Structure 1
Amino acid sequence: MASSQAAEEIADSLFTNYAGVAINVVVIYEHLTTSSMEVDVIWSRKLTSFTTILFLVNRYNTVVNSLISLVLLILPANGVVCYTGAINTISILISFIVWATFSAFRVYSINGRNMLLPVMVFILGLVPFGTNLYLTAMQILTTSAVEGICMMEWNLSETADDIVAVTTRASLILSDILILYITLSKTYSLYGSRGSSQVKSSLVKLLVRDGAFYFVSLLILHCVQMTLWIKNEFQTFSLFTTP
């Protein structure tokens, strides 16, 4: 029984590592293949727009996280590797702030610059930052290498872990639903307007097509992850919903 459980844990660990490598490689590949477009669209102009700076922070925070994670997955575990990996989780906290800010700005720009809904979206988007902040701090303080494996000497209780996971995903699901509702309701009224210009029509189509697809995809991923977590199945799925 013990040997079969150990074999299962090793198999889960290997799958997690393989999935991590695959995801990080895709992120790095996407960054390399779009770098020329980035130069043309971003770096050929003055960096005066807050949204442009936000985009760059998100882009380079993600790629740096992927590069470090990929290197750490390849290197044998030791004290430096384990501690660097723990420090690298700070980039995920940065991503939560960036995503919450981006979502709030999106709602603000298409909702007549009314502040109530953007603030609601921002607060909901920051819940994962709050729930992960303490976990990240404890991971940094208690991670060490034990017999070639990175181990954390502190863990949440099972009940607390479930509460954190459900709270985090529930807030993101509510945020996604709110953003989808605002995007579709506001852009539909513009799209139905007979007096709109071709440029406005194209912009509305872009918001509906790309924006709705993006947030519907996130909504589905968050719902699936919370369901799997509650059923205690395929916990590695979280790799596909965070950077």
Structure 2
Amino acid sequence: MFYSLALVVYEYAITVNQELTFIWKRKLTGATALFVANRYLSVLLTIIQIAPSLPIEWYVLLEHKSSIFSALRVYAIWGRNTMFFIAVLLPNMVPFATNIVSIKLTYTVVRNNMTLPLVKYATRISVIVADALVLLLTWWKTFRDAREVLSLKMNISLTTLLIRDGMHKHHRFLRLAC
């Protein structure tokens, strides 16, 4: 566990100048808020792993931060589509709920052998559904954009389109989110 803390401290030490230049010396935007949340939630997660006296719910919540970021990605790609955001976020939150329930059951009630396999399957299936939604929605949007590019007779590869448009739309969302 202390190795992970050492790696986190090392990474922060070698990038602190860049962070000061590109984050803290500029106006606070949605992009900087997401950066700070992602960066410092990682530090908090590492500390929580080392300090087991903190509530386990904190650890579980921080462990699922990627669920929120994947939902935000879909939200940005699809031009702030709340329906797609919720469709990706909800199945991604099932593991958070089942982890909390499992933790509470472990400490308070003797486990029922019939419930645990169902909880495990529900958790795994929900994550697969959420990941499949992110993948399918990204592909769908990319291929829609690719068709539009082809109809305009532009010479852009699908890879370029995916990278360029995905980043452009993502940055546009982050600027608008402030």
- Give the TM interval when normalised to the shorter protein: 0.5 to 0.7
- In the TM superposition, 1:121-160 aligns within 5 A as 121-137=88-104, 142=107, 156-160=111-115
Q: Deviations over 1:6-46 (max 9, x none)?
A: xxxxxxxxxxxxxx555555455444444333333322222
| Contact 1:107-1:117 within 8 A present in 2 as well | yes
Matches within 5 A, 1:18-29: 20=1, 22-23=3-4, 25-29=6-10
Matched letter for residue 121 of structure 1: V
Partner of 2:25: 44
Measured against aligned partners, the alpha-carbon deviations of 1:69-110 in whole angstroms (never above 9, x if no partner) come to 23x4xxxxxxxxx5x15x1541321442x3333222211222
Once the two structures are TM-superposed, the CA of residue 120 in structure 1 deviates from its matched residue by 0.8
**Percent identity over paired residues:** 30
What TM-score do you get using the length of structure 2 for normalisation? 0.68
Q: State how far apart, in whole Å, the 1-side matches of 2:160 and 2:126 are.
A: 32
- After TM superposition, the score normalised by the length of structure 1 is 0.53
Amino acid at match of 2:42: T
Root mean square deviation, CA, Å? 3.5
Whether the aligned pair in 1 keeps the contact of 2:71 and 2:85 (CA below 8 Å) is yes
Pick one of 35, 45, 63 that aligns with 2:16: 35
| Aligned with 1:92 (options 48, 60, 73) | 60
Gaps of 5+ in 1: 1-19, 73-81, 143-152, 210-243
Contact 1:100-1:125 within 8 A present in 2 as well = yes
Q: Which residue of 1 aligns with 2:46?
A: 66
Q: Secondary structure at the match of 1:163?
A: helix
Give yes or no for contact 1:108–1:117 (8 Å, CA) kept in 2: yes
Q: Distance in 2 between matches of 1:60 and 1:30?
A: 12
Q: Distance in 1 between matches of 2:57 and 2:6?
A: 18
Aligned residues: 162
Q: Does residue 186 of structure 1 match 2:141?
A: yes
